[in-house]
Amino acid sequence: MLSFKKPIKFDWDKGNIDKSYKKHGISTNQTEEIFLDQDLKILKDIKHSQKEKRQIALGKTFANKKLFIIFTVRGDKVRIISARTMNKRERSYYEKT
C-alpha cells in the first residue's frame, strides 16, 4: 500500500496543468484534495505503466465530488497525469471497499 507523508507535495507539468480542467472541469485544487480523503483508494495502473509506475487514486473532494486520478510518484512528489469524475463502476468500487 502506497502511503503519503503529510503535507503532500505535488509536481505539476506546465503543459499538463490545465488539461483536466479543460477536458473534465476538474481543477488542480480539487485534484489535490482527494489525497486527503480518509477513504482514498490507491490501485496499480498496470495498463499504462510502461515507462514509469503509474497509480490510480479514487477519492472525493471536500465537496464530495468523486474523482478518478492517474498519477505517478517522482521522488517525494506526486505528479498528476489526469483527473476526471468517477464513472458508475468506479463509484461502486470506491463505495463498497
Q: What is the pTM of this model?
A: 0.87
Is 83 a domain residue? yes
Number of domains in the chain: 1
pLDDT tens digits, 22-61: 999 999 999 999 999 999 999 998 776 677 899 999 999 9
Print the domain residue range for 81. 9-96
> 57: helix, coil or strand?
strand
3-state secondary structure of 81: strand
In a domain, 16, yes or no: yes
Residue 36 lies in a domain: yes
Given a cut of 70, is residue 72 above it in pLDDT?
Answer: yes
Say what the pLDDT of residue 3 is: 63
Q: Which of the four pLDDT bands, split at 50, 70 and 90, describes residue 63?
A: very high
Give the model's pLDDT for residue 16. Answer: 80
Residue 73 CB partners (closer than 8 Å, separation 6+): 2, 53, 55, 79
d(CA 70, CA 77): 14
Q: 79 in helix, strand or coil?
A: strand
